[in-house]
Amino acid sequence: MDSALQFLEQHHVSTRDQLLDFLRFPSVSTDPDRTTDVAECAEWLANHLRRIGLPTVTVFQTDGHPIVYAEHLEAGPKAPTVLMYGHYDVQPVDPLHLWTNDPFEPTIRDGKVFARGATDDKGQVWIHVAAVEAMLSTGEPLPINLKLLIEGEEEIGSPNLSPFVRNHAAMLACDAVVVSDTAMFAPGQPSLVYGLRGLAYVEIHVDGPRRDLHSGSYGGPVANPLNALCSIIASMKDEQGRVTIDGFYDDVPAISDQERTALNALDYTSERLLHDIGQPDAGGEPGYSIVERLWTRPTLDVNGIIGGFTGEGAKTVLPAKAMAKVSMRLVPDQKHHHIVELITRHVERVTPAGVHSRVVDLHGADPVLVPLDAPALAAADWALRETFGTPCLYQREGGSIPVVELFSSALGVPTVLMGFGLNTENAHSPDEHFSLDHFRKGLDATVRFYHAMKTLA
């Protein structure tokens, strides 16, 4: 282990420069114009994994973007097997004008690397890739068997990875999964995440007259699709912020007093949140603290809305159609497909006369809780504490990583969510960045984790 740690110390500049190369690929999975860039990123990553000495590296083609998979199984059948999962796809960059540098020309400022994907998730994937390189470079056998699964569709709900995991359960068999795609509670505070919210993402389309109409000649007797859409949206939450879709909360049990006490003991005040986001007041459900709202309660939010005239000045027009993108974060035991059925029924029920509405299921993920008593978690706890010099904190997370639920339900193994990002690092927004200090510590922690898995699993 010590020689791998030494390698990381000696090679930290080249390790960082390789990450910059990885960040240069505009691998935006949701953008059809970027399909070739996504594929080139996968090939480049696979070639790098071959170069550092992984004996088996395969790029699996799918109906969407490719999956990169590598194995190093020379520790033998008695040694534990760890499956590392991450994603090389990234979110779109818009609004581009709010970026300080080109999102695909990574730039280092103030000890941080700025680029799309820096913290979510290329920087964190690179921690594992470089840690494996360091372990292989020592010439010593790897302490464990290792499988790396790095996909290109996480940001669009992993539509092709889900069937892939089910169909390749034997290939992916392991004792534990490790994922670095979450945030730490605060800078320098190592954190292990034991719960992720799920997601149901839909579009609500409302169609009205066959063409846009003059609002003077026609306004009054015509049902306006944009007004109708707004009333549909308004009907889905009450004034206090509770979701009013029938059955929405049916599968949401109250959390235990013990967990509530533990989560509320974390120092995440409304002041901290409001300072971070620059708003004067918090929203959300009454009767729940900030962390409970973020991690243990479901949500319903409009992500975007289009329709009618939005240019400069005024245009007197009744739009022919309108559309809203609506997402719901889910908590155990809500299920993505069931929630889509509930919202579809609700929209049907409240659609005003004269317009036609339709709900389209874009993608989603089921929520998940991972066991707190898994030996792999103890290995991560030790590795993080040893590296950061401070005890780990245990928390849930408000975001989603769709495949993690499958690792428990289809592979039957625990997932260690050992992230090195920060929620303030602008994932999914302009000027995304990643702390180079956390990157550096993440490398050592990851080498320690893989070694600890040998004895603890």
Residues forming contacts to ligand BES in the complex (CB under 6 A) are 120-121, 154-155, 157, 181-183, 199, 365, 397, 399-402
Complex with Zn ion: residue 248 or 420, whichever CB lies closer: 420
Rounded to an integer, what distance in angstroms lies between the CA atom of residue 384 and that of residue 237? 41
Q: Does 121 bind Zn ion (CB under 5 A)?
A: yes
Q: Render 84-119 in DSSP notation, one character per residue.
A: EEEE--B----SGGG-SS-TTS-EEETTEEESTTTT
**Interface with Zn ion in residues 163-182 (CB under 5 A):** 181
Q: DSSP readout, 173-239?
A: --SEEEE--SEESBTTB-EEEEEE-EEEEEEEEEE-SSS-EETTTSTTTSPPHHHHHHHHHHTTB-T
42 contact partners, CB below 8 Å, separation of at least 6 = 27, 59, 65, 66, 67, 68, 88, 152
**Identity of the amino acid at 210:** R
Question: What separation, in Å, do the N-terminal and C-terminal C-alpha atoms of the chain show?
Answer: 17
Quick one: what does residue 344 bind among ligand BES, Zn ion, none, with the CB cut-off 5 to 8 Å set by partner type?
A: none
In contact, 417 and 196? CB cutoff 8 Å = yes
- In the list Zn ion, ligand BES, none, the entry touching 89 (Cβ below 5 to 8 angstroms by class) is none
Peptide bond into 121 cis (omega under 30): yes
- Choice between 329 and 451, CB closer to Zn ion: 329
- Which of ligand BES, Zn ion, none does residue 259 bind to, with CB < 5 to 8 Å depending on kind? none
Query: What's the min distance (Å) between Cβ of 368 and ligand BES?
Result: 12
Comparison of 122 and 205: residue with beta carbon closer to ligand BES: 122
Range in contact with Zn ion (rule: CB under 5 A) among 3-11, 121-129, 221-229, 253-261: 121-129
Closer to Zn ion at the Cβ: 133 or 181?
181
- 153: contact with Zn ion by CB under 5 A: no
**121 or 397, CB closer to Zn ion?**
121
> Closer to Zn ion at the Cβ: 7 or 295?
295
- Figure out which of the listed residues 71, 120, 151, 425 binds Zn ion, where binding follows CB under 5 A: 120
- Cβ 299 to ligand BES, closest distance in Å? 12
Task: Label the pairing between strands 145-151 and 81-87.
Answer: parallel
From the list Zn ion, ligand BES, none, partner contacted by residue 397 (C-beta under 5 to 8 A by kind)? ligand BES
366 binds Zn ion (CB under 5 A): no
Smaller CB distance to Zn ion: residue 181 or 444?
Answer: 181
CB of 181 to Zn ion, least distance (A): 4
Please, what is the minimum distance in Å from the beta carbon of residue 121 to Zn ion?
4
Q: How far is the CB of 399 from Zn ion (least distance, A)?
A: 8
Are residues 197 and 329 in contact, defined by beta-carbon separation less than 8 angstroms?
Answer: yes
Beta strands in 296-355 (DSSP E): 301-307, 317-318, 321-330
Size of the site for Zn ion (CB under 5 A): 3
Residue 368 CA to residue 196 CA, distance in Å, equals 5
Q: Which is nearer to ligand BES, 7 or 185 (CB)?
A: 185
Identify which range of 51-59, 112-120, 231-239, 250-258 contacts Zn ion by CB under 5 A.
112-120
Residue 289 near which of Zn ion, ligand BES, none (CB within 5-8 Å, type-dependent): none
d(CA 323, CA 205): 4
Strand pairing of 107-109 and 421-422?
unpaired
H or E element that contains 65:
none
Looking at the Cβ atoms of 121 and 381, the one nearer to ligand BES is 121
Residue whose Cβ sits closest to ligand BES: 399
- Provide the binding-site residues for Zn ion, judged by CB under 5 A: 120-121, 181
